[in-house]
Chains A and B, each alone.
Chain A
């Protein structure tokens, strides 16, 4: 297999194995449907040439997520230059009360829309952590992708759980 072939093969692998996850990632970074389609395409266009330099020093998944998150982060920065984005830190999200009742979780579309609305407002670094957590990654993998220490990842994940519980539970307790 020559270099170009392996680059194509790696891209095909990424599209098959991580296609859905990459689309979810694009959802987390862009609310507008047209811009989201462009972002997803941009991620794919960044992945393919990146495989030319893939040397196996980190896992294939780590590489894929780094390229995807970094491309999406560039997109977010471009949008913020146009004044389209204001970020929320995890701490700020934590302090915000949830609005809907616990029954809302049963309404999948409503819950998903609310979850996306929360993620799309987070700082890129917190967004990356929230996404990795939702994609069920372990702390070591998240640390490798983001560059945070494992201990820091644990602390942040604890905070993410708090944010999610508050956002999707407090209304229920209050209502009850």
Chain B
């Protein structure tokens, strides 16, 4: 078999692959599309609700507690909650990408990579905003522990778990941002 036949034989092999084509009824398509929309709406409402609860909860705490650390912590948590609410209002990245049929694949791929990179590797201001809520909760915990030494162990434990989780999330996020940036660089290099 000459060399040039190999790709052609592979084409025949590829097109002869056993398939069982899928066809979904229009009714089910409509149902699934509605289900997807409902799911997205429910998730958005859920996140907004959590953000509002954070704002309201720490709003109450700021008036209830009088230690400076507790108040600063509550204020930071409220700011974090507002950021969470606004971010959700503006729409999470990479959730729905419109006009898939009008977007060439390379442009789509690059845009998707950029969205992921930006989401996981925000600039210093982005990180500052994102860390506001965990920092607020942590500060509030420290303030509460100082104000009520009897509960210091439990509060310290909660604060430590919170800190570890936040540090891990930041670490993972930065790793993903580097990975996506690497892919963007590789794509640019391959396109010349």
Contacts and interface: CB of A to CB of B under 8 A. Distances in A.
Interface hub of B3, B10, B179 (most chain A Cβ within 10 A)? B10
A87 B183 contact: yes
B33 A112 contact: no
A45 B33 CA distance: 7
A66 B101 contact: yes
Interface hub of B29, B33, B113 (most chain A Cβ within 10 A)? B29
A48 interface: yes
Given A19-B21, A146-B104, A53 B36 contact: no
A175 interface: no
Contacts, number: 159
Given A74-B97, A123-B186, A125-B190, A145 B104 contact: yes
Given A67-B101, A81-B116, A45 B19 contact: no
B21 A125 contact: no
A92 B106 CA distance: 19
Given A44-B29, A53-B101, A71-B100, A161 B7 contact: yes
Given A11-B26, A45-B32, A70 B105 contact: yes
B187 interface: yes
A22 B24 CA distance: 13
A168 B5 CA distance: 11
Interface in A123-176: 123-126, 128, 133-136, 144-148, 152, 160-161, 164-165, 168-169
Interface string A47-78: 01110011001100001101101110110010
Nearest to A147: B104
Contacts of A71: 100
Nearest to A172: B1
Nearest to A4: B26
Chain B interface residue count: which class? Answer: 35 or more
Given A66-B100, A77-B116, A115 B14 contact: yes
Contacts of A44: 22-24, 29
A46 B108 CA distance: 15
Interface in B1-60: 1, 3, 6-7, 9-11, 13-17, 19-24, 26, 29, 32-33, 36
A78 to B, nearest CB: 8
B101 A20 contact: no
A23 to B, nearest CB: 4
Contacts of B11: 133-134, 136
19 contacts: A16-B23, A19-B21, A19-B22, A22-B21, A27-B17, A41-B22, A48-B33, A69-B105, A70-B97, A70-B108, A77-B94, A91-B190, A115-B14, A124-B109, A125-B187, A148-B106, A152-B192, A160-B7, A169-B3
Q: Which 9 A-B pairs have the closest CB atoms?
A: A147-B104, A19-B21, A15-B23, A63-B101, A134-B14, A23-B19, A20-B19, A8-B26, A147-B106
